[in-house]
Amino acid sequence: MKKPSPRREHRHGSKHATGTFERRFPGKFSGKRSETKSVAPASKFSKPQRQEKPVPVKAQTRGDTVIIWGLHAVRAAWLNPKRRCHRLWLTESGFAAFEKSLTEAKEDLLLKRPDPKRSERQELDQLVPPGSVHQGIVLETLPLAEPPLHELIAGDQPPDLLLMLDQVTDPHNVGAIMRSASAFGAGAVIMTERNAPGTTGVLAKSASGALEHLPQIHVVNLARTLDELRQAGYWCVGLAEEGARELSALDLTARTVLVLGAEGEGLRQLTRKKCDELARLPTGGSIGSLNVSNAAAVALYEVRRQKKSGA
C-alpha cells in the first residue's frame, strides 16, 4: 500500500495542533517552514521579532486579571509596588508619553515589571470597551488585595474619615468618587459585594490613579458594617434630601463615616436607620439635587474643612 507523502501528513497535523494558535493569532502560523530573514539592529523601542498581538477584550479570561488603560491610571498602577503587572502595550505615541514612568520603574529596584510590547492603536482598541480613550497605553494586571475592615479601623491611628456607598453601581461615578475621596484624605471606600461595580478599567480610568492609593473594601451587609463602625467610635452620617439639618451644621471633627446612596433611590431604608443622623446639602434653585459623585465631593470637602479648622 502506498504511504502518504510527508507533506500530506504535515498539513493534517498542523490543522489540529495549531488550530487554537491560529484562532488567537491569525496569520502568525501558516503551517509552512518560515524562511530565514535578516534582522535589523534593535532600536530604542524596536518591535520584537515574535511580537505578541493583544487578545480582544472578550478573550481576556486569564484568571482574575484586569485591563487598565489611560496615562494616569496605568502610571499609578505601574509605579505601585503592591501591583503585579503582567503585560504593558504601548503605541509609539503611548511610549513617548509613558517613557518617564518606564524610567522611574527601572530605577526602583523593588519593582519588577515586564518589558513593554509595541502595538498599533487598532490592536489596543480591541482590548478596551468601544469608545474608551486609552491614549495608546494599556496594562494587564492583577487586582489589588483588599484590607479587612477590622484591621483598617483597629490600632492607634485608624482613619478619621471613611466613605460608604449604598448600591452605587455606575463605575464612572464610583471612580470619580474615589478620586475625590483620595484628594480629601478618606481612609477607604466601603461598598457591598453585590450591586457594586467591580474593579474594572472603566472605574480605574475614572479614578485617575486613586485606585492605587485608596483601599476599596467590599462587605456582605452594610447595616452590620455600620454597627461595627459605630462600635469602633465612628459617627455615621447619611446624606439625604430630607435630612433635618444641613451637613455644615453637624460636628464632623471626630471619626466620621459619610454614607451615600444611589442616584434616584438614595439610601435604603435599613441603611437610613443604622445611620446616627441624616443630613442634607444646601442645594437649591431649579435643580435641587446633585449627581452622587458631585455630592460626595461637596460632602468630603465639608468634613475635611471642619477637621482642619477644628470647628
Domain boundary (141, 165, 191) is at 141
**Dist. CA 211–CA 74, nearest whole Å:** 10
Q: Are residues 250 and 282 in the same domain?
A: yes
Answer yes or no: is 18 within a domain.
Answer: no
Quick one: 130 exposed, middle or buried, by C-beta within 10 A (0-12, 13-18, 19+)? exposed
**Dist. CA 9–CA 11, nearest whole Å:** 6
Mean pLDDT of 88-107: 96
> Which residue range forms the structural domain that includes residue 104?
57-141
Query: Dihedral through CA 275, CA 281, CA 286, CA 289, nearest 10?
Result: -40
Q: Are residues 99 and 174 in the same domain?
A: no
Q: Are residues 117 and 217 in the same domain?
A: no
162 forms beta bridges with 257
Answer yes or no: is 184 within a domain.
Answer: yes
Strand 117-118 to 235-239 pairing: unpaired
Q: Are residues 261 and 158 in the same domain?
A: yes
Domain boundary (80, 114, 141) is at 141
Residue 8 burial (CB count, 10 A): 10
CATH assignment of the domain containing 256: 3.40.1280.10
**Dist. CA 78–CA 112, nearest whole Å:** 10
Which residues are CB-contacts of 134 (< 8 A; sequence separation ≥ 6)? Answer: 69, 70, 94, 124, 125, 127, 128
CA 120-125-129 angle, to 5 degrees, is 165
Answer yes or no: is 28 within a domain.
Answer: no
Band of pLDDT at residue 155, cut at 50, 70 and 90:
confident
State if pTM tops 0.85.
Answer: no
At residue 198, the pLDDT reads 78
Q: Are residues 124 and 185 in the same domain?
A: no
Q: Are residues 284 and 214 in the same domain?
A: yes
Q: Are residues 95 and 174 in the same domain?
A: no
Q: Are residues 171 and 284 in the same domain?
A: yes
At 252-300, the pLDDT tens digits run 999 999 999 987 788 999 999 999 999 999 887 666 678 999 999 999 9
Instruction: Tell me: pLDDT of 224 over 80.
Output: yes
Q: How many domains does the chain have?
A: 2
